Chain A
Amino acid sequence: GQQLNQSPQSMFIQEGEDVSMNCTSSSIFNTWLWYKQDPGEGPVLLIALYKAGELTSNGRLTAQFGITRKDSFLNISASIPSDVGIYFCAGPVKYSGGGADGLTFGKGTHLIIQP
């Protein structure tokens, strides 16, 4: 199936620093979604991207849909303690079940903010 390669796997940063993470695929996606998951919670949608080259912001978060449609980037500016968590990229795929498009997820980027 279509796999998403997400990097880095984890990031140790200082509060106030900017963060960058990316997601790549060998297949073309027509939608990229970025989620954040806190421990013991479900993922929360941060940003949705629908057009190649699109750059979308949500507060201190900015995400871009790569021109090749095979990658996406998420940037967080001026990190704060509540940014800690796991960030997942996701894209729609036709799974083997044949139903409506489910989502395939990257393995996540674990963001840790050092005091």
Chain B
Amino acid sequence: EAQVTQNPRYLITVTGKKLTVTCSQNMNHEYMSWYRQDPGLGLRQIYYSMNVEVTDKGDVPEGYKVSRKEKRNFPLILESPSPNQTSLYFCASRGGIFHEQFFGPGTRLTVL
């Protein structure tokens, strides 16, 4: 089944404790993105990647890192999480620049 998977689905952590949210897609898509979704603000793009080793900042990249060492994986790294990074995070992938974007199921992160 074609899908985007994220892990973990739920995470509660404390300020400053480094964490990684994994994202994997099995559709051989070139493009992958990370978004955060907050009430009243909608989805905001954090980072995106156009191919292996090619990444660029979205609208809200501060406090986040990404890497794209393999085509299928695009982990999101929070080196020192803070409470304002409490949010619902989505990973997405698509096969081309104007192709349909497929979203993962989301990761709900709480930073205390």
Instruction: Determine if chain A interacts with chain B.
Output: no
